[in-house]
Structure 1
Amino acid sequence: MPRSASVSLLSLSIALFSAPVLADTVWLKNGDRLTGTIRVFDGSKLLLQTDYGGSIPLDWKKVATLESDHELLVKMGPVDGERAKSLLAAEPGKVTLANGEAPKTVELAQIEQIMKPKPLVEDFVWKGNIDLAMDYKRAESDTDDYDVDIDTQARHGQWRHNAQAEYNRELKDDVVSTDNWSTEYALDRFLTEKLFWQGRLEYKRDRVEELERQRTVGTGPGYQFWDDELGAFSVATLANRSDYSFSNGERNRFYELSVKWDYNRYLVGKTVELFSTGEVGRPLSGAADFSLDAEVGLRYKVTDWASLNMKAEKDVVSGAEGDLDETRYTLGFGVGW
């Protein structure tokens, strides 16, 4: 019997007689077999959740075949995907998508993503991160720097609640050089699967800069481009009313149009997360030229809940009384859920 046929029969025999009924199974090219729950495949790593080793990222090039009793979305390209009721082990380098009476065997090399299909509405989903960064420098000039960020999101039915809070404080030789905090709450009402309407409230307080207080109330439409196991991306266009208060007693109230974005993408089997949030706005009057409040960063997951993070933040108000232009770089740790 040819060797290739022997290997194929051996693979099928293992699939039929050795695999646990309720566990997903991955066979590697070196002969190893791992069981657990397939979480996601992002193009390079297959993430297998196990009760003996936590989340294990597997090199896709080392996978011979796999099987699963769970419904999974298998994508052969960036757009097109097929819902498979289950995956069945096939000969090395292939997998069979079982979907009713027409199973289809495909090459593993053709698959770009595998993930759990996300329902249109889940009853309740809550996720978020708390990031903490601290920097202590003892030299001719002593510096203490603290940064705390909280970002959380809850989805219930057609409603999504978004909340953010941040606190920054820096001392140089016991003199406060940065001391500010901000908080924001936004409520999204989904009109369709992707289109939503947002209302939001934001408040910023700075005890050092000339621009002491910023208050913003806004509303407008938004669009959710995607929201799945590998990340999410949404954009909202808002009409805002902003109130600025300055340390010299001056006040400005004006209306502006702004664009907000919220992006995150998991890489390398969800061990690395690239994220960016922000808003750029332009007043309808001459109160300021433009405003920008944005951050971009990376998180590296050390465990299922703990991570290291690196961020860059930019806060600009140009053309107003007491221009603001701040840039911060932080490195710290955090927890997520």
Structure 2
Amino acid sequence: MVSRTLLCLAVFTASTPLLADTVWLKNGDKLSGKITLFDGGKLLIQTEYAGAVPIDWKQVKTLESDQQLLVKQDAYTGEKAKALHAAEDGKVTLANGDGPKTVELASIQQMLKPKPVVEDLVWKGNIDVALDYQRAENDTDDYDVDFKTSARHGRWRHTAEGEYNREFQDDVVTTDNWRGEYSLDRFLTDKWFWQGRLVYKRDKVEDLARQRTVGTGPGYQFWDDELGAFSLGSLLNRTDYEYADGGKDNFYSVAMKWDYNRYLVAKKVEFFTNGEVGKPLGNVADYALDAEVGLRYKVTDWASLNLKAERDIIKGSDEADLSKTRYTAGFGVTW
């Protein structure tokens, strides 16, 4: 009797479809899957038949979901909805026990799965590793590791990045440097933000041994959604140089920095470029440029292959003259 009951239960379970989220579009189409995120005007739904599908929020008529979501109607506060129920066109009902509430879709700025501590935390980043071994008349071993990660909650965004390069030629170290950067952005509006930044560079081979930069200034976020992001920032910097022979220098500068990435081919390929060009105030140098551009191919949801080109220039002062171009290919982890 017990075996028969268990068999019936297994058959019933196998024949019962799993609950799925549903999105109705204004053109009459309907998509089923799992809502993962709404941010930057794009609703991302994970489907079995097409993978992750981004949907323009303005094209959504209504939607429903059986999962708990944090629904934010402004940048500061959010409401945990135990479920979402379909409503009339342009609206959705937030189900919270005895007090369901129907809201306009246009009033929702963000939807995401609540986190244990900081509920509205959005965290993304990548780690890339490149190795190059050449065995010829001159043996060369080249190592490159870099990372970039950002976390946003409310009107605050934290960004940390770093890079380490080391190269041997016939067992002699020809390149040995690392760089770390931290920036904190405070969004004044949905697009405008104010940034504070700290950068430190250490080079054990070049004449310019240490660089320290502290800067602050306004920036503008053109977009930041599931398909990519683009921002520009202007900074007033204070930079300190230390040379290998013990000499020191410091100066102020103005700079423009950019950060751009765009996903292509159904989010399989990512094009990215970021960097900074600066002009010292005074006669220290003509200009300084630190930039990179590259492609990242996602092999799986988390693993990727990458190609990058990096350009580093300090032009003007004889002591600080520097011009380096570096090409790398490697693999990485993305989240």
Q: Which amino acid aligns with 1:334?
A: G
Q: Secondary structure at the match of 1:85?
A: strand
Where relative contact order (Cα < 8 A, 6+ residues apart) is larger, the structure is 1
Contact persistence 1:57–1:268 (CA under 8 A): no
Q: Secondary structure at the match of 1:248?
A: coil
1:153-192: CA deviation from partner (whole Å, max 9, x where unpaired): 0112111000011000011101111110000000000111
What RMSD, in angstroms, separates the aligned Cα atoms of the two structures? 3.2
1:85 lines up with 2:62 in the alignment: yes
1:155 lines up with 2:155 in the alignment: no
Aligned to 1:22: 20
1:185-229: CA deviation from partner (whole Å, max 9, x where unpaired): 000001111110000000001111111111100000011100111
Q: Please state how far the C-alpha of 1:307 moved relative to its aligned partner.
A: 0.3
For residue 231 of structure 1, the aligned residue among 228, 232, 244 is 228
1:252-286: CA deviation from partner (whole Å, max 9, x where unpaired): 11000001111111111111111111000000111
For residue 333 of structure 2, the aligned residue among 319, 332, 335 is 335
Aligned to 1:77: none
1:73 lines up with 2:70 in the alignment: no
Aligned to 1:322: 320
Q: How does 1:86-165 map to 2 (within 5 A)?
A: 86=63, 100-101=88-89, 119=110, 123-165=120-162
Contact persistence 1:243–1:252 (CA under 8 A): yes
- Unaligned segments of structure 2, at least 5 residues: 1-16, 24-30, 38-43, 65-85, 92-107, 113-118
Q: Which amino acid aligns with 1:201?
A: L
Q: Structure 1 CA distance, aligned partners of 2:87 and 2:266?
A: 26
1:250 lines up with 2:247 in the alignment: yes
Q: Structure 1 CA distance, aligned partners of 2:295 and 2:265?
A: 13
Q: Structure 1 CA distance, aligned partners of 2:137 and 2:200?
A: 36
Q: Structure 2 CA distance, aligned partners of 1:56 and 1:173?
A: 48
Aligned to 1:281: 278
- Unaligned segments of structure 1, at least 5 residues: 1-18, 26-33, 41-46, 59-70, 75-80, 88-97, 104-116
1:271 lines up with 2:271 in the alignment: no
Q: Which amino acid aligns with 1:252?
A: D
Q: Which amino acid aligns with 1:315?
A: D
1:92-114: CA deviation from partner (whole Å, max 9, x where unpaired): xxxxxx983589xxxxxxxxxxx
Contact persistence 2:275–2:290 (CA under 8 A): yes
Per the normalisation by structure 2, the TM-score is 0.71
Q: Which amino acid aligns with 2:238?
A: R
Aligned to 1:199: 196
Q: Structure 1 CA distance, aligned partners of 2:147 and 2:90?
A: 48
Q: Secondary structure at the match of 2:110?
A: coil
- How many residues matched? 266
Q: Structure 2 CA distance, aligned partners of 1:233 and 1:193?
A: 14
Q: Structure 1 CA distance, aligned partners of 2:52 and 2:305?
A: 18
Q: Structure 2 CA distance, aligned partners of 1:102 and 1:215?
A: 51
